[in-house]
A and B are shown apart, each in its own frame.
Chain A
Amino acid sequence: MAKAQATSGAGQGGFRQAQAWLHTWCGLWFSWLLFAVFLTGTLAVFEEPITHWMTPEHHAEEAAALAAPAKPTASLGQRLDWGVAYMQEHHAGAGMWELWPADAKGAGELRVFWFDSQRQYASAELDTATGEALAAAGHAPARQTLGGHHFVDFHYELHAGKVGLWIVGIAAMAMLVALVSGVITHKRIFKDFFTFRTRKGQRSWLDAHNAVAVLTLPFQFMIAYTGIVISGLTFMPAGVVTQFGADGAMAFQAALNEPGKPRPSGQPMALPALESFARRGEQLMGQPVRAVVIDHPGDAAARIGVYGWNEDAGARQRLSPTSGLAMFSAATGEVLQVRLPGGVDGGKASLTQSVLAGLHMVAFGGFALKWLYFLCGLAGSAMMATGAILFIVKRRSRHLGEFGSATARVYRLIEAANVAAIAGLGLACISFLWANRMVPLGLAHRDDWELAVFFGVWALALVHALARPAAAAWKEQLGLLAALCLLLPLLNALTVGDHLGAQLLRGDWESAGVELFALATGLAAVWGRRSMARRKSIAASVRRSGASVEAEVKA
């Protein structure tokens, strides 16, 4: 005991022991949150396929659009004219008109956006055959849902806005600390580079923790660091405050994103036809038109910005994910600014941030790289999970008395937190998909109910983990996780009438991918549960050691 304590305090022992102490505690207290951030961030890579699965009515629309005879689609110039006509009639006073005329191939929807009188971003869709506004009610989502965006939002803000962003930012810093101290602690990083010994209890957990962490270290370091950099100006506001004042965030954003934005002159001038601007913009930036943005429409100082679609092959080979941009003066037709695809305003620092953000969000490289990020993200999640479990496994055989007389109780809480954070989060994620099919359609704030199921199931998992002995809690939660995952395709077939076979036949890999991954997770949970059962004897010895700890503490 005394020896254990002598080597377990900060600043005691040598440099490496101090780092080991730092790694253990920094890693433990943040591992639960970081696991949640990593797992949901990993799922966020496939935000769009998950959203696709969660909006099955959309599939019917797609099929109907394919089956119905194609409507005559208007030319780019016609679409832009319709957009301008609509805005002039209904929102002439808006300071900014944003027209999204077509997709990258010149077909698709025609949408217009503006800021309404409450400074809220508003939009309307126009018919691409007549230019008339489509009734908003006809397009109200039948199945109101956050879709895959839930995972994106949760993994960087925890659905808690700026507070959540700060919490995740601090956790990411802690992860960098844990990575560096972990590398220093790991004495045999090259000798054990390829080592994984199965069925050796604590040794196996340590090997697994080391292997996934060391082998994917470049990814883990990159993803934590770039995650911080994306919100760097929030975490380190001193530069902006010095230049723009304490309330200067808006002014800074305006200066960064809208350099040289003209002031309205007060002299009226009719907006010229937009097609020639759009065509010149396409020539200058080398991308098809995504959006045409008009600042101060109807004023002599109006400015026309033409933005490009980032769908060319070149976009997959650029780390910086920005699209092309060309700015014109409406009055003279003069080119005010050209930004090539991948470029940014604001110099080298902005470009660096754009590249680092691109590295985090893997906008490049297509599906092959998305899968690579997904697998590396799973490895990162496994690193947190194995680390947290290792902490307890290490103390099963021999408790280290870090918390004095409360040690046994604190270990118990840590073990419950492990169950709820690892198996419980898995339950919450799959329940979110179940909720998507079970919550009645047309319910007010339906998307909030789905979210409530996610957090509710997670909270219940924590209560369950606290109420049950650790081994039983693991087995029961893994069993439930397996059942929910394996039954997801059946649920889909019963509620929506879609199934894996049909998805594969119509080439719907997004839906099939979601269900296949759910099945794989289910099988992994079954395997986890069975290997827990195999180690029943170990569980028994834990109970015994738990009892002996309490006896020791009482003595």
Chain B
Amino acid sequence: MSEWLAGLLSLGLAFAGMAALAFAMERHYEQLTGARGTPPAWRLRCLGAALLLAALLPCVWAWGATVGSVAWLGLMSAGAVGCVAAISAAPRWAARAACALGPGALLALAWAGIAQ
């Protein structure tokens, strides 16, 4: 897998994962729904953790275990910064982007896996 594709897929998954973790918190759930309410916290947290773990896959695939872990840590940071910026600017669009990027990146990853 090319390094650029791996980086972008991992970044997409990291963004989606971080968004899921953010919307599991009442403060950001409220920003999303516009009303006070209890988010499905545990489900969102599990989803977020799973997406963040999935972000490791393309990294290890493209760079191997050592460099891949370094890239993964950095890309999780980058995804989180992007997520904070997106939620503060437009929480609904952040959620939509996460819903598109997470499954999209997973599909692309599966496609690349089958193609190989």
Contact = CB atoms under 8 A, between A and B. Distances in A.
Interface in B57-116: 63-64, 66-67, 70-71, 73-75, 77-78, 80-81, 83-85, 87-89
A75 to B, nearest CB: 33
A197 B3 CA distance: 35
Contacts of B7: 368-369, 371-372
Contacts of A366: 3
| Chain A interface size range | 20 to 34
A451 interface: no
Interface in A270-292: none
A185 B60 CA distance: 35
Contacts of A307: none
Contacts of A365: 3, 63, 67, 70-71
A531 interface: no
| Chain B interface size range | 20 to 34
B67 A318 contact: yes
Contacts of B6: 368
B88 A219 contact: no
Contacts of B28: 194
A196 B31 CA distance: 12
Contacts of B80: 193-194, 215
A319 B81 CA distance: 25
Contacts, number: 89
A317 B70 CA distance: 11
A195 B27 contact: yes
Contacts of A379: 77, 81
A216 interface: yes
B55 to A, nearest CB: 13
B84 A369 contact: no
Nearest to A211: B84
Contacts of A179: none
A196 B94 CA distance: 14
Contacts of A38: none
A316 B22 contact: no
A321 to B, nearest CB: 11
A211 B81 contact: yes
Contacts of A218: 73-74, 77
B87 A319 contact: no
Contacts of B81: 211-212, 215-216, 379
B85 A316 contact: no
A376 interface: yes
Nearest to A190: B25
Interface in A290-313: none
B66 A318 contact: yes
A193 B84 CA distance: 9
A317 B74 contact: no
Interface string A343-370: 0000000000000000100001111110
* Complex A-B, nearest 6 residue pairs according to Cβ-Cβ distance, in ascending order: A317-B64, A194-B22, A368-B7, A196-B88, A215-B80, A368-B3
15 contacts: A195-B27, A195-B84, A212-B81, A215-B84, A216-B81, A218-B74, A218-B77, A316-B67, A319-B67, A364-B63, A368-B3, A368-B7, A372-B71, A373-B74, A379-B77
Given A194-B18, A317-B67, A368-B3, 8 more contacts: A191-B25, A193-B25, A196-B85, A196-B87, A198-B89, A316-B3, A365-B63, A376-B78
Interface of B: 3-4, 6-7, 18, 21-22, 25, 27-28, 63-64, 66-67, 70-71, 73-75, 77-78, 80-81, 83-85, 87-89
